[in-house]
Amino acid sequence: MNRETNDRIEEMDAPRIMTRDQHCISRKQIDEDVLKVLYRLHRKGFLAYLVGGSVRDLLLGRQPKDFDVGTDASPAQIKRLFRNCFLVGRRFRLAHIRFQGNKLVEVATFRRHPDAEELPDDPDEHFHFVQNVFGTPREDAYRRDFTINALFYDIGSFSVIDHVGGLEDLAQRRIRVIGDPQVRFAEDPVRMLRALEFCARLDFYLEDDILQVIKSSAPLIADASPARIREELMELYRHKVSGKVLRMSKELGLLPHLLGGYRGDEASLQLLQLVDDRTASGVAIDEAFAIAALFLNRFFRECPAEKETHITTALHIANEIIIPHCRYFSIAQGIRHQAREMLVGCFRMARGRGLRGERRFLEHPFTPRSLELFRLWAQVKPEHAALIDTWSEAIKCPTQPPSDTEKKKRPRKRRRGPRRPKGRGGYPKDQQKVE
């Protein structure tokens, strides 16, 4: 969007303003430290807006997970106002204001799209170029991705300001891109995944033209930063929508480009939905559990749970499956190790009890987590359901003697070292000390 477009924006109709008595947002719903930041900016003569997804969620009657602040104060001016402020970012400076308990309130100066003469010489860098190009609130609204994320709450008048038609889209429960979807998805391919996430989280719908653009632009997401994709994927798990979003991604042809050829078979998608239900029940999700659930069905296809299969074979196959994923997304070795242990733990449980190494397996710290995953898997594959109670009891009492059905193990022989030479004190007779 260049200066020409910015000029057209200014010539458009005035923004829709929803006054205090026309909306449901209350300051009691806003974090008290965020209110302190808003009030101080306002008292010093600057615009102070609550921006982005927090306004959307408050209007929908949902409690936001965090609050972002937008202002016309420059980063240097924000820093002078708050002693507990530090600036981050090189291309675009953001102000992070720190409060007790390591809480951070992010404050951003209103931005606009740079003019043509401000862009790099290389056209390939235009879409990914960001710098300190400050703008008006209206220009900042048109710079955002979706209309429902471009709403502002003004602490000065307690009103909601809408420059892009986001209020109407909220009422229609519709996800609409600001500007040309083809261009906006090319600028940032991760927006395609975010569009699907908002559909699943908010129970909104996507317009047909956007769905068609996602289908045609799906390969672009393979060029997105792996770090950003990794964080967006974890957001899907945290918001309990991984199953829904990955299913939609498969239908739109986005999934194989998103996860390097991942098939997204029906059993895996069902398992991810059960993982989401588990998270919704209050059990926190972590990345190792998410990775294990993502690849469990593929692991069982390549490593059938047969008693003749050696455990080292299962370990080798588990590594072959998850290492490429972990390397691409720069996932730490510790997380990879936990995911592998859960896969192999499910493999042991699927084989049944009474096999070699069971006692040690029952005492392994990851065995209870393997049982959690295997319990979900048994809902997808009911033939494993009979094993759940058996393993649950065994894990509760790992030191109980083996049942009659368990194989008896031969006691391990203690390895002896070389015999010491006979004689007094262990020395040969000819080397013994004479007293």
Q: Where in the sequence numbering do the catalytic residues fall?
A: 66, 68, 145
- Asked whether the beta carbons of 399 and 406 are under 8 A apart, the reply is no
**Which two tokens mark 203?**
């129970």
CA dihedral 303, 309, 313, 319 (to 10 degrees): 30
CA distances from 15 to 32, 139, 355 (A): 28, 12, 71
β-pairing, 85-88 vs 159-162, is unpaired
How far is it, in rounded angstroms, from Cα 169 to Cα 156?
25
Phi (first) and psi of residue 115, to 5 degrees: -75, 165
Strand partners, 94: 88
- Asked whether the beta carbons of 359 and 408 are under 8 A apart, the reply is no
- Asked whether the beta carbons of 202 and 263 are under 8 A apart, the reply is no
276 closest CA partner among 241, 252, 305? 241
**Which two tokens mark 413?**
């022989």
**Which two tokens mark 141?**
């609204």
How far is it, in rounded angstroms, from Cα 339 to Cα 329?
14
How far is it, in rounded angstroms, from Cα 413 to Cα 434?
39
CA distances from 94 to 87, 103, 120 (A): 6, 16, 22
